[in-house]
Amino acid sequence: MPTHFPLFPPTASTVAVEMDLLYLFITAVCAFFAILVVAVIAFFTIKYRRRTPDAVGADIHGSLMLELTWTFIPFVLSMVMFGWGASLFFRLASPPANAMELFVVGKQWMWKVQHPEGVREINEMHVPIGRPVRVTLGSEDVLHDYFIPAFRVKMDAVPGKVTTLWFEATEVGTYHIFCAEYCGTKHSGMIGQVIVMTPQDYEAWLAGGKSTGTAVQNGERLFTDLACVTCHKPDSTGRGPSLLGVFGSTVTLTDGRKVVADENYLRESIMNSQAKIVAGYQGIMPTFQGMVTEENLLQLIAYIKTLKPAAPAGGQGK
């Protein structure tokens, strides 16, 4: 049993300090009002205690000025909390463009982690300090939640969807990973460790790991093995649309809707291929539900993201 009595988890990411400051700010505001109200009530109950059995209170019905004041003050303070919280939330929701990408899949009751270079681990995640890391999350069965208290980050792993979180570690050390969304018998055993290393140690660790091919390589192999390539030809002559440059682009569907082809769009198009049909094509693609695992999906998506549009014919390619 530890002898110290911590009130904060380890502070090991770039957002952790701001999170703690926001927490302390709200704590201070709340403590001020709690103590004020308790002190006022304590004072009144003693000062205005009933002195004779038939005593009654003064004939006071209210004061519009006072009531407007104590409607206005909590409103303003709560808006300050909202503003600060929203700004931190948007920071947490916007991974930097240069972030390295890890793939994490939750299943009852383990976390499977894959590094971009292809090294895999289970219930452990090695990351370097000083570099933003974007975690792409999937789930193979029920809801899970990837929670790293030392980094102050948390995101649900939702079956049927791709979700993301990001962090940048600042302190070398070993920290908890918890599953924070209830998932059955061994929910509390679905835990692991983040091992934060110096960049040099991280490179050495990666070099010592057994790579099973990078995510992109695996995705490319799947793209061929599953025969995606026979319809999704690069030159738009196939029975399906070309996927060059599709990621991040706006796609027009047969019903006229326009959608942005993000990770969840790609995922849905593979697993539930009839949901959104691209204008000008027929809904002839089979579903790959049950044929590809969550990890395969993340690999396929990683590969499709690398498919860049060819330079326009005869034009000045950038």
Partner 1 sequence: MTTAPVQEPRNSYLDAPHGIASWLLTKDHKRIAMLYLISITIFFAIGGLFALGIRLELLTPKGDLVPGDTYNKLFTLHGVIMIFFFLIPSIPATLGNFFVPIMVGAKDLAFPRINLLSWYLYVIGGIIALAAVAGGGLDTGWTFYTPYSTQASQTSVTLAAMAAFTAGFSSILTGFNFIVTIHRMRAPGLTWFRLPLFIWAQYATSLVMILGTPVIAITLTLLMAERSLGFPIFDPKIGGDPVLFQHLFWFYSHPAVYIMILPGMGVVSELVASISRKQIFGYAFVAFSSLAIAILGFLVWGHHLFVSSQSIYAGLVFSIITMLVAVPSAVKTFNWAATMYKGAITWESPTYWVIGFMGLFLIGGLTGLFLATLGLDIHLTDTYFVVAHFHYIMVGGAIMAFLGGLHFWWPKMTGRMYPEPLAKASAILVFVGFNLTFFPQFLLGYLGMPRRYHEYPPEFQVLNVASTGGATILGLGYGLCLVYLLWSLKKGQIAPANPWGAKGLEWEKTQSPPTTFNFDEDVIVTEPAYNYAGTKVHHG
Near partner 1 in 277-296, by CB under 8 A? 289
Asked if 85 is part of the footprint of partner 1 (rule: CB under 8 A), the reply reads yes
- By CB under 8 A, name the one of 11, 14, 22, 231 that touches partner 1: 22
φ, ψ of residue 172 to 5 degrees: the values are -65, 135
> Which of 117, 156 has the CB closer to partner 1?
156
Span interacting with partner 1, options 73-81, 99-107, 233-241, 252-260, rule CB under 8 A: 73-81
Please report how close the Cβ of residue 302 comes to partner 1 at its closest, in angstroms.
19
- By CB under 8 A, name the one of 11, 14, 26, 242 that touches partner 1: 26
- Integer CA distances (angstroms), 53 to 56, 143, 182, 296, in order: 9, 61, 56, 79
Paired sense of beta strands 124-128 and 192-197, if any: parallel
Please report how close the Cβ of residue 220 comes to partner 1 at its closest, in angstroms.
26
Asked if 33 is part of the footprint of partner 1 (rule: CB under 8 A), the reply reads yes
Near partner 1 in 163-202, by CB under 8 A? 163, 176, 178-189, 191
- By CB under 8 A, name the one of 11, 99, 100, 108 that touches partner 1: 108
> Which of 154, 221 has the CB closer to partner 1?
154
Cβ contacts of 287 within 8 Å, gap of 6 or more: 271, 272, 273, 274
Q: What is the DSSP letter of 188?
A: G
Return the H-helix or E-strand segment holding 177. strand 173-179
Span interacting with partner 1, options 30-38, 203-211, 277-285, 303-311, rule CB under 8 A: 30-38
Widest CA span in the chain: 100
Q: Is 128 helix (H, G, I), strand (E, B) or coil?
A: strand
Asked if 61 is part of the footprint of partner 1 (rule: CB under 8 A), the reply reads yes
Please report how close the Cβ of residue 139 comes to partner 1 at its closest, in angstroms.
9
Phi-psi region of 4 (alpha: psi -120 to 50; beta: other; left: phi over 0): beta
Asked if 65 is part of the footprint of partner 1 (rule: CB under 8 A), the reply reads no
Paired sense of beta strands 132-139 and 100-107, if any: parallel
Asked if 152 is part of the footprint of partner 1 (rule: CB under 8 A), the reply reads yes
What is the size of the binding site for partner 1 (CB under 8 A)? 93
Q: Is 42 helix (H, G, I), strand (E, B) or coil?
A: helix
Crossing angle between the packed helical segments 64-93 and 16-47, to the nearest 10 degrees: 160
Asked if 28 is part of the footprint of partner 1 (rule: CB under 8 A), the reply reads no
- Integer CA distances (angstroms), 1 to 4, 5, 176, 193, 233, in order: 9, 10, 17, 19, 61
Q: Is 221 helix (H, G, I), strand (E, B) or coil?
A: helix
Near partner 1 in 119-148, by CB under 8 A? 141-143, 145, 147
Which residues sit opposite 102 in a β-bridge? 135
> Which of 39, 311 has the CB closer to partner 1?
39
What distance, in Å, lies between the first and last C-alpha atoms of the chain? 61
Span interacting with partner 1, options 23-31, 195-203, 218-226, 305-313, rule CB under 8 A: 23-31
Please report how close the Cβ of residue 284 comes to partner 1 at its closest, in angstroms.
19
- By CB under 8 A, name the one of 82, 124, 130, 245 that touches partner 1: 82
Give me 100's structure tokens. 């390295």
Span interacting with partner 1, options 51-59, 96-104, 113-121, 199-207, rule CB under 8 A: 51-59
> Which of 62, 312 has the CB closer to partner 1?
62
Asked if 259 is part of the footprint of partner 1 (rule: CB under 8 A), the reply reads no
